[in-house]
């Protein structure tokens, strides 16, 4: 249940958490958080229990890890800046975002009954600064920002990653002579069935839609100077939404003909730092994070045809690199990298507006939040 690096006090505390929660009808989510670790207090990946009805941490005694009050487990590794979970919630795949030959993808085992995590293995990406990771249950992909490629890893029978067997390349062509002067890959997102892969080619202002079986792709041209970062698909996959880090805009792509049908503004100050994008679980609202100036979350209503209407804006802490929404849609949590905390906002189901609960989770350089509800 606990790895060798976890002391007996941590083991006892996690066991007590498990026993205390066993009789609760409203069982909390397991929340996994990735961090940057270079020149800061954070030391890797952390797990917590989060009550999605009350919008607060539960179970942690606050004293296991001095740098992460409320965390129930920790795996030490360098710069686990993005995470994804297996479908059954038993495995966590994490990138180690470094800009040299040690850049890797890591497999962690997650015991959601206790929150305990254990490192199972690591494989080199053959790409620099992996910043995104996803899986379809058969393979795992990392988007490697600085080398501009996407690495494909087969998954072994026990869920561990095997050595990579394919690299997808991205291109250039965007007008920004500083930020688009080399190929950069920022996202590699599977569709729900795992048969397609959407790759954001930051420096080419392109999203490429790959057939996973054939590895053949179709390029979808975006507006010039867009700088595509993250991608999200709606439930029926008729629309893809892409946030432009450079342009500060969100585009809507009609996936039937792979064309842009709408462009809306998320960052009115054009600070060239937009980051993350998510749909509410009911698909009625889209949220996009804005950094560098007037940091916050732009809110859009999703209309019946999948297009977007501006609905509002919620200021946040500094540098909201990543955020996530609880599966019940009641809370949105923002990883404010440079404020050293995760902010908790309540979502209004009718308007999409966000209300600051005043509750925060203290953690240095948080940059990725994932939820698992499969622990019972």
Position 375 scores a pLDDT of 46
Q: What is the CATH number of domain 8-372?
A: 2.130.10.10
Position 26 scores a pLDDT of 61
- Using alpha carbons, list the distances in angstroms from residue 197 to 167, 190, 211, 370: 13, 4, 7, 20
Residue 33, token pair as written in the block: 């958080």
Q: What is d(CA 19, CA 104) in angstroms, rounded to the nearest whole number?
A: 36
Position 5 scores a pLDDT of 41
Q: What is d(CA 290, CA 313) in angstroms, rounded to the nearest whole number?
A: 10
The answer to whether the beta carbons of residues 20 and 33 sit under 8 Å apart is no
- How far from each other are the two terminal CA atoms of the chain, in whole angstroms? 16
Residue 104, token pair as written in the block: 């890797």
Position 59 scores a pLDDT of 79
Please report how many Cα atoms fall inside a 13 Å half-sphere around the Cα of residue 282, on the Cβ side. 14
Tens-digit pLDDT profile for the chain (376 aa)? 334 444 433 443 444 344 334 334 467 899 999 999 999 999 999 999 999 999 999 976 667 899 999 999 999 999 999 999 999 999 999 999 999 999 999 999 999 788 999 999 999 999 999 999 999 999 999 999 999 999 999 999 999 999 999 999 999 999 999 999 999 999 999 999 999 999 999 999 999 999 999 999 999 999 999 999 999 999 999 999 999 999 999 999 999 999 999 999 999 999 999 999 999 999 999 999 999 999 999 999 999 999 999 999 999 999 999 999 999 999 999 999 999 999 999 999 999 999 999 999 999 999 999 999 754 3
**pTM recorded for the entire structure:** 0.92
Position 2 scores a pLDDT of 35
Position 113 scores a pLDDT of 84
Residue 271, token pair as written in the block: 């600070």
The answer to whether the beta carbons of residues 101 and 144 sit under 8 Å apart is no
């Amino acid at each position: 249940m606990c790895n060798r690096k976890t002391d007996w006090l941590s083991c006892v505390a996690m066991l007590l958490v498990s026993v205390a929660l066993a009789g609760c009808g409203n069982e909390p989510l397991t929340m996994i958080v990735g961090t940057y670790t270079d020149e800061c207090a954070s030391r890797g990946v952390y797990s917590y229990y989060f009550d999605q009805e009350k919008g607060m941490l539960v179970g942690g005694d606050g004293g296991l890890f001095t740098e992460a009050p409320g965390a129930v487990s920790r795996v030490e590794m360098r710069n686990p800046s993005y995470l994804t979970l297996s479908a059954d919630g038993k495995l966590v795949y994490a990138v180690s975002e470094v800009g040299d030959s040690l850049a890797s993808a890591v497999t962690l085992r997650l015991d959601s009954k206790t929150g305990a995590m254990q490192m199972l293995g690591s494989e080199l990406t053959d790409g620099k600064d992996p910043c995104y990771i996803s899986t379809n249950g058969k393979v795992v992909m990392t988007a490697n920002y600085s080398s501009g490629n996407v690495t494909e890893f087969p998954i072994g029978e026990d869920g561990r990653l095997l050595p990579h067997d394919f690299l997808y390349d991205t291109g250039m062509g965007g007008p920004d002579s500083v930020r688009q002067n080399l190929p950069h890959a920022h996202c590699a997102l599977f569709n729900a069935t795992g048969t397609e892969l959407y790759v954001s080619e930051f420096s080419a202002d392109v999203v490429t839609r790959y057939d996973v079986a054939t590895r053949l792709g179709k390029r979808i041209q975006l507006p010039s100077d867009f700088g595509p970062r993250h991608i999200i698909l709606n439930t029926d996959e008729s629309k893809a939404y892409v946030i432009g880090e450079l342009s500060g805009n969100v585009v809507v792509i009609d996936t039937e003909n792979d064309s842009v049908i709408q462009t809306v503004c998320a960052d009115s100050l054009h600070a060239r730092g937009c980051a993350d994008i998510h749909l509410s679980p009911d698909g009625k609202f889209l949220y996009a994070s804005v950094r560098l100036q007037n940091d916050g979350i732009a809110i859009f209503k999703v209309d019946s045809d999948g297009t977007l209407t501006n609905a509002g804006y919620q200021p946040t802490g500094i540098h909201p690199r990543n955020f996530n929404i609880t599966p019940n849609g009641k809370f949105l949590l923002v990883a404010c990298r440079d404020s050293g905390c995760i902010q908790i906002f309540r979502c209004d189901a009718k308007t999409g507006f966000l209300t600051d609960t005043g509750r925060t989770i203290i953690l240095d350089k948080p940059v990725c939040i994932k939820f698992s509800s499969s622990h019972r």
